[in-house]
Amino acid sequence: MSASQIVDAFITSVGQTGYLINYMGSNAYITKMLIDGVSSAIQDQASVNCSFTSAGGTVVQHSTSALSPDDQYLLFGYEDPILGSVLNIVDAQTMELLTSVPVPESEIYGYAFTGDSKRVITLGQNLQVPIIFLDGENSYMEHKFDIYPGSYSGSYNPIDGLFYVLGDHYYMYKVDPFTGEILETIDMDIPGSTNYRVAIDQQGVPLVLTSSSMEYDGISYPMPGISSELIYNQDYDLFISPVPGPDVICVFNPLQVGIQTYYPGKESDVFVFPNPAKDMVSIRSAGKIKGNINL
């Protein structure tokens, strides 16, 4: 696999193993790598069925994949010809398919895991969101709940122990992971905007990225451009959103409650890569980002 073929990449929490994902047709090809500097090497390779959206015979979007926070499972949505929509669960150690759990939709755009990695929700344009109990080959759909009008993003709040599921318009839902009950519905209908991503800071406060702003603690902060990517850095308690063309890096610090903007390659000498990004970005700066954080 060449670097240009890699679509998704995951690194385990201890940083010693990486998973490189390439999609071809209805298959996801997984390369498992040992990360050890110059001694890095491929450990294993496997493939698993996955879903994709096509237009005119050309693949334009694969179902989003995920690595569980406890590093045990790789997840892939798939439209099985017999079972219908399923979530394929792969053992991250052995690279074997453990089970296929029936779900409302195979084209998955996002995931959210509980802090113990025992439960996960899969997000897409279906009005039903499943809660899947992860237990290897015994995994199953435990509950499902209805939202409107579908979702691309959700996050788990370790402070109150609830899923925060962001509808792509109108509402954000606070959901009990154990029962699937919607405990609160928050109005997020911002005129002229689409909801893209939600992430939660160390204090348990959600930040919602829309097509025009960052919404945090009841205050709207205008964005300098449109971005559908939001990364939360837990170590530094920072929200990061890269805006492409021309590149602008937006950094939101909850302690300063404002958006700082950086222009890669300009006078600020800030470089952010990769862009666009999926789950993580790296920032290199000749100076210091406000908040006494050297990046």
* Neighbour count for residue 174 (Cβ, 10 Å): 17
CB 149 within 8 A of CB 167: yes
CB 216 within 8 A of CB 207: yes
Average pLDDT for 41-64? 77
Task: Read off φ and ψ for residue 91, nearest 5 degrees.
Answer: -70, 120
In angstroms, the CA 147 to CA 173 distance is 8
Residue ranges in the chain assigned as alpha helix (H): none
In angstroms, the CA 233 to CA 52 distance is 30
pLDDT tens for residues 141-165? 999 999 988 888 999 999 999 999 9
Q: What's the mean pLDDT when you consider all of the chain?
A: 88
Question: Parallel, antiparallel, or unpaired for β 97-102 and 84-91?
Answer: antiparallel
pLDDT tens for residues 220-238? 999 999 998 999 999 999 9
In angstroms, the CA 141 to CA 169 distance is 26
- Prior bond of 102 cis (ω within 30°): no
Could you tell me the pTM of the whole model? 0.85
CB 134 within 8 A of CB 141: no
For the domain spanning 3-189, the CATH number is 2.130.10.10
Catalogue the long-range contacts made by 16-19 (C-beta closer than 8 Å, 24 or more residues apart): 17/43, 17/71, 17/92, 19/67, 19/74, 19/92
Confidence of residue 1 (pLDDT cuts 50, 70, 90): low
In angstroms, the CA 26 to CA 53 distance is 10
C-alpha distances (whole Å) from 280 to each of 47, 261, 274 are 24, 18, 8
Q: Which residues of 199-226 are buried (b: 16+ CB within 10 A; e: fewer)?
A: bbbeeeebbbbbebbbbbeeeeeebebe
In angstroms, the CA 89 to CA 87 distance is 6
pLDDT tens for residues 87-126? 999 999 999 999 999 999 999 989 999 999 999 999 988 8
Domain spans of the chain, in order of start: 3-189
